[in-house]
Chain A
Amino acid sequence: NAGVTQTPKFRVLKTGQSMTLLCAQDMNHEYMYWYRQDPGMGLRLIHYSVGEGTTAKGEVPDGYNVSRLKKQNFLLGLESAAPSQTSVYFCASRSVSYGGYTFGSGTRLTVV
């Protein structure tokens, strides 16, 4: 039972480069989320999805795009990376009926 899997686990980007972070869940959850964690800031919601083909903005969406083409996958894209996007990114999912989130183990991204 893998739960929520994030790839890659680590990545270093140069300013202006693009990349996609992949989140996959095998629990048939409807809802999926992307958070970033920064020192002293806790977890902040970037984007979320309430179902296949739907996405919505969270608290800090600027500079990111997302797609949910398949129910089990939620992709987070950075079109032109900036040093301010250096962070640890967490994906989470939950079912419709249960309020608790299941988190992945995170992706540590450094933009230089």
Chain B
Amino acid sequence: DQQVKQNSPSLSVQEGRISILNCDYTNSMFDYFLWYKKYPAEGPTFLISISSIKDKNEDGRFTVFLNKSAKHLSLHIVPSQPGDSAVYFCARGRGNDMRFGAGTRLTVKP
């Protein structure tokens, strides 16, 4: 039961352009969504989150949008940098019931 789905396993963008990573969820019970970033041979690190009372949250170059009617969230990175190349996981839930998507590998080309 994959309650969080990232349908694009990979994404490649040019440096300076926008990266858009997408995530769909199937259970509306959970009201908190997060994005994690993972480099090779490292653990995931927290990037940005959003509560269901909001539809947008911004932190520097990173913005997360939440469309509750479509059960969809997206992460925008503007402008993309080569150091952003990593695997990005979306997650939903709060507390001890955190569910993660399968991840999207972002490659930012110089």
Contact = CB atoms under 8 A, between A and B. Distances in A.
Interface of A: 4, 31, 33, 35, 40-45, 48, 50, 56, 59, 90, 92, 99-106
11 contacts: A48-B96, A56-B96, A99-B32, A99-B94, A99-B95, A100-B34, A103-B36, A103-B43, A105-B42, A106-B42, A106-B43
B69 to A, nearest CB: 24
Given A42-B103, A90-B43, A103-B45, 12 more contacts: A42-B101, A42-B102, A43-B91, A43-B100, A59-B99, A92-B43, A99-B34, A99-B49, A99-B94, A100-B34, A100-B46, A101-B98
B10 to A, nearest CB: 12
B4 interface: yes
A54 to B, nearest CB: 11
B70 interface: no
Contacts of B2: 42
A30 B101 CA distance: 25
Contacts, number: 55
Contacts of B43: 4, 90, 92, 103-106
A56 B6 CA distance: 27
B89 interface: yes
A101 B46 contact: yes
A42 B23 CA distance: 13
B41 A43 contact: no
A33 B94 CA distance: 14
Contacts of B91: 43
Contacts of B6: 42
Given A43-B89, A50-B96, A103 B44 contact: yes
A59 B102 CA distance: 15
A40 B5 CA distance: 10
